[in-house]
Amino acid sequence: MATTIAILSQKGGTGKTTLTRSLAEGLSRSGLKTLTIDADPQGNLSEYFGVPADAFPTLGEVLAGQETAMDAIHDDVIPANLGLAEAELMLAGKMGRELTLRHALREPKRHYDICLIDCPPTLGLLTVNALVASDWAILSSEAEHFSEQGAEQATEVIGLARENLNPDLDLLGVLLNIADMRTNHAKGTLETLRQEFGERVFETVIRRSIVYPESALAGISIFEYRRRKAIDYARLTVEILERLDLAPALAKARAMVREIES
């Protein structure tokens, strides 16, 4: 059964989609069969993967109960579009509305090692569905516009999901993202995160670089776009595999880091 990780943040523009895309690539390159799910109606992740805009079915149809998740997999991605916002509204009035994604992913999880879910920037029903379907959550915090209140809200939602719906859920880690570590602001944010989350904060910080928006525009991962710039995400992949204790993949990820550094 696939280990499932929800990627969330307290708001938009914190590098969540870039994190999901890049991590999917790092994990795949470490030999893990990785399914990525776009749970944001904006569909940025689907675009980043180069999924055609008219791909059908998508996560919206799956959550509406019209199609199976297996049928919605396009090259290891379950894409999303604005129809997902409509599906979320429909879902709100249904019994078991928080469990829909968990149930839908049962079959796909048998065919993959890892599932990553890119959550929308709000802590609503789609994010709750993602958390209930997951074993782990990763919190992405942007260095420049970090808000403690936002981070608290996000951890509160994780706590609520665990207490009420998914006792197996745990916080895998907190990432400082889009950071310029030469600024005092970024240093301060890292300090605040370490005070609040201790060891859960990843050692790896994802540095700010223009190559990320460029690679998103080109629709290819950072590993292909600028191999040497992928070092941060390669190191993050190592840290995540350490925390997940996935030894064979970890050895491959470490080799990947050495290869990029050489």
- Judged by the rule CB under 6 A, the positions of this chain that interact with ligand ADP are 9, 12-18, 44, 121, 178, 206, 208-209, 212-213, 216
The verdict on 9 binding Mg ion (CB under 5 A) reads no
Gyration radius of the chain's alpha carbons: 17
- Number of chain positions touching Mg ion (CB under 5 A): 3
Q: How far is the CB of 7 from Mg ion (least distance, A)?
A: 9
The one of ligand ADP, Mg ion, none whose footprint includes residue 10, by CB under 5 to 8 A per kind, is none
15 binds, among Mg ion, ligand ADP, none (CB under 5 to 8 A by kind): ligand ADP
To the nearest whole angstrom, how small is the minimum distance from the Cβ of residue 99 to Mg ion?
24
Choose the one of Mg ion, ligand ADP, none that binds residue 3, judging by a C-beta under 5 to 8 angstroms depending on kind. none
Is residue 44 part of the contact set for Mg ion (CB under 5 A)?
yes
According to CB under 5 A, which one of 3, 9, 17, 141 is a site residue for Mg ion?
17
Least distance CB 94 / Mg ion (angstroms): 26
Report in angstroms how near the CB of residue 206 gets to ligand ADP at its nearest: 5
What is the smallest separation between the CB atom of 94 and ligand ADP, expressed in angstroms?
Answer: 27
14 binds, among ligand ADP, Mg ion, none (CB under 5 to 8 A by kind): ligand ADP
The 3-state secondary structure of 172-222 reads: EEEEEECECCCCHHHHHHHHHHHHHHHHHECCCCCECCCHHHHHHHHCCCH
CA–CA gap between residue 96 and residue 165 (Å, rounded): 10
Q: Which does 178 bind (CB under 5 to 8 A by kind): Mg ion, ligand ADP, none?
A: ligand ADP
Nearer to Mg ion (CB atom), residue 17 or residue 134 = 17
34 sits near Mg ion (criterion: CB under 5 A): no
Spatial contact of 195 and 256, defined as CB atoms under 8 Å apart: no
CB closer to ligand ADP, 15 vs 60: 15
Query: Per residue in 110-130, is it b (16+ CB within 10 Å) or e — as a string?
Result: eebbbbbbbbbbebebbbbbb
What's the rounded Cα separation, in Å, for the pair 119 and 138?
10
Q: CA 35, CA 64: separation in Å to the nearest integer?
A: 20
> Distance from CA of residue 205 to its chain's centroid?
16
Q: How far is the C-alpha of 133 from the C-alpha of 101, rounded, in Å?
A: 6
Q: Which residue number is nearest to Mg ion in terms of Cβ?
A: 17
**Contact partner at residue 50 from Mg ion, ligand ADP, none, CB < 5 to 8 Å by partner kind:** none
Closest to Mg ion by CB, 35 or 117:
117
Residue numbers at the binding site for Mg ion (CB under 5 A): 16-17, 44
